[in-house]
Amino acid sequence: MPSNRKVTLNYVNILKDKRKMKFAATATLAVFVASQAAAIDLGGGLKAGAEIDMNYTTGIEEWALEATPEVGFEAYGADLTVGSTFDLMGLNEDDVFKGLDFGAEYNIGVIPGLTAYGEIGTDADFEFGDATMGVKFAF
């Protein structure tokens, strides 16, 4: 049977982890709300915005903070975007820039929520990877 001291220490560690997760969730929500409000319409179909993602993975006990700026163009039902992801936790490391992500979406017909899309990305050396194409239905 474990001693009361070990049980108390384990309980204290669990409470600390819960506080960290609550802080991370609150910080992520605050950043999400701020980043959504910062997205702007530049006119003429151009738009710019950013997303900041702060998260904690429990299995490997690791924090992550990434910024994803994105610019886009909308015309004739097509939505074209290009963005990139930057690792803000590793600003002093070599692999902060992870490449560019290109995307295109097009609303199909008169059915709301039916969209054809395509995605392709590059690595930090601007070499293209696999392309993804498909149709999705959101309701």
Q: Is the pLDDT of residue 50 over 70?
A: yes
- Label residue 37 by pLDDT band (50, 70, 90): very low
For residue range 58-85, list pLDDT tens digits in order.
988 888 888 889 999 998 888 999 998 8
For residue range 87-125, list pLDDT tens digits in order.
887 766 667 778 899 999 998 877 888 999 999 999 888
Report which of residues 120 and 16 the model is more confident about: 120
- CA gap 67, 100 in Å, rounded: 13
Amino acid, res. 18: K
In sequence order, what E strands does 14-113 have?
Answer: 40-43, 46-57, 62-75, 78-87, 97-107
* Best CA proximity match to 25, nearest among 63, 51, 68: 63
Predicted structure pTM score: 0.59
Q: Is the pLDDT of residue 10 over 60?
A: no
